[in-house]
Amino acid sequence: MNYLSKTIALTMLLSISSSSVFAAGIAKGTSKFVISNYAKTKYPMLMVHGFAGFTRLGTENFGLDYWYQILPDLATNGATVYAAQLSPVESTEIRGEQLLRQVDDVIALTGKNKVNLIGHSHGGPTIQYIEAIAPEKVASLTAVAGAMKGSTIANTISENNLLLPVAKALFNILGPTLTFLEGNTELSINPKNALNSLTTQGLDKFNQTYPTAAIPKNCNDKGQKITANGVYHYSWMGNKQITNPLDIIDTAVIGLSASLMQEKNHDGFVSVCSGNYGQVIRNDYNLNHLDEINQILGLKGIFAPDPVSIYRQHANRLKLEGL
């Protein structure tokens, strides 16, 4: 039986639960069946959510994963994969310190001395922080629509006297709500720090403090795939905004944010220029910022690629690189 046949035969039997949460806060991708070693990387993968992100909202058996259906699929294909639990609304440095502790947890749990980090949105600069302060613990970094040079949405909000207080009030409600639903109310919430971290000015300062050759100097340049410390770098993202009008939440969130974007080429939150990092796999997928993590609940455009398969293919790419 070939790989595709196995996948079809076992799809209805696979558990849709993606994680078992450890005391450390990380969540492990699990599956009742392993059908191949296609995604079995040398080093474990640790997924890092973005702004207003989470690992899982609700219980293990009933809830919503940030990386919807992605972790169990990777586990089904042989990967050792975890999801980090970080402050949803906080500065990059504080999120980075939280992530560093969870990198150490994954290293302790697996017995491997490195991890492959995959960060979405604000997760991009967050994983960059780890390489800057502990490069020996990182095999590769992948930015999925990473806000590597900031987002003009954060600029617009921070510079608007009407939008800023409304946004801060909203994030002061949203942040604690997410941590409550995730079951970790000890995670700090700071809208001001978060917004400052995501502005282009804030990221420019961050990149001066924690520089990397993986970030190109301008939109027409290419970042380095392998930097001097031997760490591999990759990125991919979409460049569409409204992909499925039936996905009401997605359409409302992306539509509102897209109206604040000043660039033309973006996924609704992050510009393609800001997302370019290391080896660019693609930056023109027919996906928006939430589609990139298979949200909401896997709804996307009719002709859009399957985000789950993109992560699976990338895991295989890391495997073939010996990572």
Q: Tell me, letter by letter, the H, E, C secondary structure of 97-113.
A: HHHHHHHHHHHHHHCCC
Note the pLDDT tens digit of each residue in 223-234. 999 999 999 999
Residue 32: the pLDDT is: 83
The torsion of the CA quartet 166, 121, 207, 45, rounded to 10 degrees, works out to 140
Query: Does residue 304 have a pLDDT over 50?
Result: yes
Return the percentage of the chain with pLDDT > 70, whole number.
93
Q: Which of 73, 267, 271, 314 is catalytic?
A: 267
Does the annotation count 49 as an active-site position? Answer: no
pLDDT bin (cut points 50, 70, 90) of residue 302 is: confident
Q: Which of 23-32, 46-55, 60-69 has the highest mean pLDDT?
A: 46-55
Mean pLDDT, to the nearest integer, of 7-36? 59
Q: Report the chain's mean pLDDT, rounded to a whole number.
A: 91
Domain segments of the chain as ranges = 3-320
CA neighbor of 153 nearest in space, from 269, 249, 289, 242: 269
- Confidence bin at 74 (pLDDT 50/70/90): very high
pLDDT of residue 2: 42
CB burial string 286-317: b at 16+ within 10 A, e below = ebbbbbbbbbbeebbbeebbebbebbbebbbb
Q: What is the pLDDT of residues 161-190, one digit of tens each?
A: 999 999 999 999 999 999 999 999 999 999
Check 19, 121, 197, 235 and give the catalytic one: 121
Banded model confidence at residue 255, pLDDT cuts 50, 70, 90: confident
pLDDT at 63: 86
Catalytic choice (120, 122, 233, 289): 289
- Which pLDDT does position 259 carry in this prediction? 86
**DSSP element (H, E) containing 139:** strand 138-144
Is the pTM above the cut of 0.85?
Answer: yes
Q: Which fold has domain 3-320?
A: Rossmann fold (3.40.50)
Residue 104 has pLDDT above 90, yes or no: yes
152 three-class SS:
helix
Helices (H), the chain: 3-10, 70-76, 92-110, 123-133, 152-159, 163-182, 191-198, 200-209, 248-258, 272-275, 307-320
Beta bridge pairs of residue 47:
83, 118
Is there a catalytic annotation at residue 289? yes
What lies within 8 Å, CB to CB, of 99 at 6+ separation is 46, 48, 84, 86, 126, 127, 129, 130
Is pLDDT at 1 greater than 50 in this prediction? Answer: no
pLDDT for the residue 4: 37
- The answer to whether 24 and 103 are in contact (CB under 8 A) is no
Whether the CA torsion 40, 45, 51, 52 is positive or negative: it is: positive
The amino acid that residue 174 corresponds to is L
pLDDT at 8: 31
> Does residue 13 register a pLDDT over 80?
no
